[in-house]
Amino acid sequence: MIRRIIQFLSAACVLLLAAGPALLRAQAASGMPGVEFSCLVWEPLSIAEVFYRDGKSYLPLKFSPGNRSQLYPLKESTGLEFYEKATGADGATTYKPVGKAPLVKGARRMLFLVDPVPNSTGLPLRIFGVNDALDVFPPGTFRFLNFSSAALQVKFAGQTNKLPAGEISVVKSNVSDKGGFLPFQIGDSDGKVVFETRLFSQPSGREMVFIGNPAEPGGLPKVKFLTQIIPPEPPKPAGQQQADSP
């Protein structure tokens, strides 16, 4: 999952969406209540204020470039819709759509990657989401996303996984409690290594690795990382531990 470290997503998303609706296997959700989501942008957006619609309400969003945003609730909508404020013909404030994306079916927590569309004749923001629940992407794992146009092989933590264009692979690192560095290689479809480094893993962390096309033919693939540390659950009170014991 890999492109210039700051400008990666803009180019990667073009390839991702061009790969077609099968990419990332996003499906429309059934609108179950209690969905939470966060957003990721790599650079500040040109739109000054972005809102999302939940039912009849338009709620403000705040982004932290290069990091997950805070979690937001989505209780009354079956998809994510972004808006910016506009002025209607009568001078009243209205909301203009700037992007939309479906929810992944069955997901209760999602991460949406948000990217501006250069010279767009449609909506100016491209949004797509992945299931960000801990049971799908738990601590101690790496999630590799192939945003390139080629099939790759990812070699990490003693495993080699084939990764077609537009697909995702989750690999458990199995590091010790203290964490450690593990070799990481990206190979082409024939297994020839085209990129390698060492990645730090820790049991409380989960890492997304975005792989994109080289900036120029024959160059190295571009890689972008998104790290999140999941704090351990606080210990239960002594009385509750005894009550939970068989």
Q: Where are the domains of the chain?
A: 8-131, 141-229
- Supply the pLDDT for residue 78: 87
- Supply the pLDDT for residue 239: 60
Question: Distance between CA atoms of 160 and 147, rounded to whole angstroms?
Answer: 18
- Supply the pLDDT for residue 217: 84
Paired residues of 95 in beta bridges: 85
Q: Based on C-alpha coordinates, what's the Rg of the chain?
A: 20
Contact status, residue 229 vs residue 205, Cβ threshold 8 Å: yes
Question: Distance between CA atoms of 199 and 190, rounded to whole angstroms?
Answer: 23
Question: Distance between CA atoms of 70 and 228, rounded to whole angstroms?
Answer: 12
- Supply the pLDDT for residue 146: 94
Sheet holding 141-146, edge to edge: 168-172, 141-146, 205-212, 222-229
Q: pLDDT tens digit string along 208-224? A: 999 999 988 888 999 99
Contact status, residue 113 vs residue 129, Cβ threshold 8 Å: yes
Q: Is 70 exposed, middle or buried (0-12, 13-18, 19+ CB in 10 A)?
A: exposed
Q: What is the pTM of this model?
A: 0.79
- Supply the pLDDT for residue 131: 96
Residue whose entry in the numeric block shows the structure tokens 């499906």: 27
Question: Distance between CA atoms of 12 and 143, rounded to whole angstroms?
Answer: 16
Contact status, residue 8 vs residue 15, Cβ threshold 8 Å: no
Sheet holding 51-54, edge to edge: 57-60, 51-54, 79-87, 93-102
Residue whose entry in the numeric block shows the structure tokens 């506009």: 86
- Supply the pLDDT for residue 219: 87
The amino acid present at 212, given as its one-letter code, is G
- Return per-residue pLDDT of the chain as tens, 246 residues: 444 433 444 444 444 444 433 344 333 344 445 799 999 999 999 998 999 999 999 999 999 999 999 999 999 888 999 999 998 888 888 999 999 999 999 999 999 999 998 877 889 999 989 999 999 999 999 999 998 999 999 999 999 999 999 999 999 999 999 999 999 999 999 999 999 999 999 999 999 999 999 988 888 999 999 999 998 777 767 665 555 555
Q: pLDDT tens digit string along 189-209? A: 999 999 999 999 999 999 999
Question: Distance between CA atoms of 194 and 170, rounded to whole angstroms?
Answer: 20
Closest CA to 123 of 31, 16, 47: 47
